[in-house]
Chain A
C-alpha cells in the first residue's frame, strides 16, 4: 500500500487486526449476517443465490415487508418509469433549496389523506424521519416516554434529542400512566410507540394510549411502518384499527414496506408539528430529496390501494389462513392479528438450523435470535403478503411440517422445546 511512515503503517495494522478480531468474534458467536443474493424482482417467489457462487434457487419468500405485493407490480414499475421520463433521475438538492417538485407535494397530500392527518412531509427514509422528528419538536424542558420495545430508529432519534428520555414496560398501560403522572412537571410530554411491533407483530393499544395521553395532556407519536396501507378496514393503519383516527399527533411511516417497498418515509400529523419538522428536522434539511422515480411509484401505489381494499383484504385472509395452518400443524406461535407471524423456537441454534433446513425445502425465512430479540426468544419471523396465493402457503406449510418433524417441535410448547434444546 506504500505508506511512507512505519508509524502510520503500524497503527493501521493494529486497527485492522482489531476489527478482524471483532468480525471473527461475530462469526464464532453466530451473529455474522450474511447477505443472500436475489436474482429476481421481489415477490412471493424469488431466486436466491446462497452460498455465494451457488446456482440460484427458486424459493417461496416468507420474510419480506412486501405486505401488499406491490414491490414489483407492473403498474407501479410503469409509473416509476414514467416518473423518470417526466421528472428525471435525481434532484441533486435538499428539499428547501431546489429539491421540491410538484409530485413531492402531490404525494404528501395523498399521504395526508390516507393517514387522516393535517399535513405530511417526506423524508429519505422512515429511519431519517425518526432520527429528526424528536429533536425538531422537543427540548430539555420536555419528556419522551417510549415503549421499551420501540424500533431502534426511534431510540436513535430520542438519543439525538435533549428532552428527558423515559420508558414504560412494553404495552403496560398502568406503567405508562405512572410515568405520565410523574412527568406532569415537564413542559410537553410525548408518548412514543410503534403501531405494530416488528418482533412479535403485536399492536399497540392505541385506543388506551390516546385516552391516557388526553387525560394527562401528552402528545402521541406512532411509527406505523408495519401497518400503513393495510391495517384497519381501509388500510390507514393501526390508528384506524384501534378507532383513534385523527387523534394521533405525529405518525411516521415508510414507503419501503407495503407502499411499494422502494425507499422513503414521512412525518405526518398536526400541521404545526409537521411544519416545525419542515423548518428544523436535520435529516429533512440536510439530506437529498426523495428521488422522482420513487415518488412516482409511490403515487401509483396510493392510487391502487385507494380505489379498493382488495389487497389488504387478501392480506388479512392470507394471515388468517397461514396462522391456522401453522397452529393446526402444532407450531408455537405468538398470538396476533398482523401479518407478522413469529414461529417461536426459543433456542438460537435451533432457529438457525430450522431456517437453513427450510431454505433447503424451498422456503426463504430468516431466524432471529439474541441480541436482535430477547435472549431465549429466538424465532422464525414469517411475514405474509397479498402476493401469496394458497398454493404458496400450502407448499410452505409442507416444508414447515417436514422440518418441524425433523426437530420434533410440533405440538411442543416453550418448556418442552427449551428442555430439549436449551435456551
Chain B
C-alpha cells in the first residue's frame, strides 16, 4: 500500500484565516484532487457499462448534510449547502414523532 501523500501550503505569517476560509481552501483542493486524480478509473468502467444498458449517467459534486440523534439518522444532499441543509431539516421534521396507530 502506498504511503499517504499530503500537500502542505504555507500561509503568510500575517494571515488569519477564519474557519470558513480554511474550509473553502480544503474543499476546493479536495474537489480539484477528486476530479483530476480519480484513482483506478473504475468508475469509468461502471459508467460505460450503465450507458451500454441504456442508462443516462452524470456525475456532479454535491454537499451532503447529516444529522444524528440517538438511533435516528438522516442524510440529505444538495447542490449547495443551503439546499442540503434545507432538505435535511425537512427530513428530520417528517418523522419527529411516529404517531400512534
Contacts and interface: CB of A to CB of B under 8 A. Distances in A.
B66 interface: no
Interface string A361-385: 0000000101111100000010000
A358 interface: no
Contacts of B93: 148, 167
A149 B101 contact: no
B90 interface: yes
A197 B97 CA distance: 12
Interface residue SS majority, chain B:
loop
A69 B95 CA distance: 32
Interface of A: 65, 146, 148-152, 155, 158, 164-167, 197-199, 368, 370-374, 381
20 contacts: A65-B101, A148-B93, A148-B94, A148-B96, A149-B99, A152-B99, A158-B94, A165-B87, A165-B90, A165-B91, A165-B94, A167-B90, A167-B94, A198-B99, A198-B101, A199-B99, A370-B97, A371-B98, A373-B97, A373-B99
Nearest to B94: A155
A198 B100 CA distance: 6
A371 B97 contact: yes
Interface of B: 87, 90-91, 93-101
Interface residue SS majority, chain A:
loop
Contacts of A151: 99
Given A148-B94, A152-B95, A197-B99, 15 more contacts: A149-B99, A152-B99, A155-B94, A164-B87, A165-B90, A165-B94, A167-B93, A198-B99, A198-B101, A368-B100, A372-B100, A373-B99, A374-B96, A374-B97, A381-B100
Nearest to B101: A198
Contact of A199 (B94, B95, B97): B97
Contacts of B98: 152, 155, 371-372
Please name the 9 residue pairs, one residue from A and one from B, whose CB atoms are nearest each other, closest first: A152-B98, A167-B93, A198-B100, A155-B95, A151-B99, A148-B93, A155-B94, A167-B90, A166-B90
A96 B101 CA distance: 30
